[in-house]
Amino acid sequence: MMKKIELLIEKIKNAKSIAISGHKNLDGDALCSTLALKKIIELNFGKKPVVLYDGNIPKYLDNVPLRDSVCFHAHVPEKTKYDLYIVVDYGTRKHLGGVEKFVNSADFVIECDHHHNDDLVGNLCFDDTEKAAAAQIIYDIARKAKFEIDDDIRNLLAIGIITDTGNFKFVHNSDVLLDMASLVDAGVNIASLVNLLNNRDKKTVLVESKAASEAEFLMKGRLAIATINRKDYKKLDGRGELVLGILGEIHGVEYVVLLKEQRENQVGISFRSRHKPINQIAESFGGGGHLYAAGAVVQDSLENVHERVINAFKGV
Is 29 among the residues that bind Mn ion (CB under 5 A)? Answer: yes
Is 138 among the residues that bind Mn ion (CB under 5 A)? Answer: no
Q: Is 309 exposed, middle or buried (0-12, 13-18, 19+ CB in 10 A)?
A: buried
- Of the chain, the end-to-end C-alpha distance in Å amounts to 39
Q: Which stretch binds Mn ion (CB under 5 A): 5-13, 41-49, 129-137, 223-231?
A: 129-137
Q: Which stretch binds Mn ion (CB under 5 A): 11-19, 45-53, 134-142, 221-229?
A: 134-142
Is 89 among the residues that bind Mn ion (CB under 5 A)? Answer: yes
DSSP classification of residue 300? S
CB of 164 to Mn ion, least distance (A): 5
CB of 118 to Mn ion, least distance (A): 18
Is 254 among the residues that bind Mn ion (CB under 5 A)? Answer: no
Q: Which of 30, 226 has the CB closer to Mn ion? A: 30
Tell which residue, 170, 159, 229, has the closest CA to residue 199. Answer: 159
Q: Which stretch binds Mn ion (CB under 5 A): 84-92, 222-230, 238-246, 294-302?
A: 84-92
CA-atom Rg of the chain in angstroms: 19
Give the distance from CA 256 to its chain's centroid: 19
- The 3-state DSSP class for residue 231 equals helix
Collect contacts of 197-200 with beta carbons under 8 A, ≥24 apart.
Answer: 197/28, 197/60, 197/61, 197/63, 197/159, 197/162, 197/163, 198/60, 199/59, 199/60, 199/61, 199/62, 199/63, 200/58, 200/59, 200/60, 200/237, 200/238, 200/242
Q: Which stretch binds Mn ion (CB under 5 A): 117-125, 158-166, 199-207, 220-228?
A: 158-166
CB of 23 to Mn ion, least distance (A): 8
Is 164 among the residues that bind Mn ion (CB under 5 A)? Answer: yes
CB of 28 to Mn ion, least distance (A): 8
Residue at shortest CB range from Mn ion: 29
Interface with Mn ion (CB under 5 A): 29, 89, 134, 164
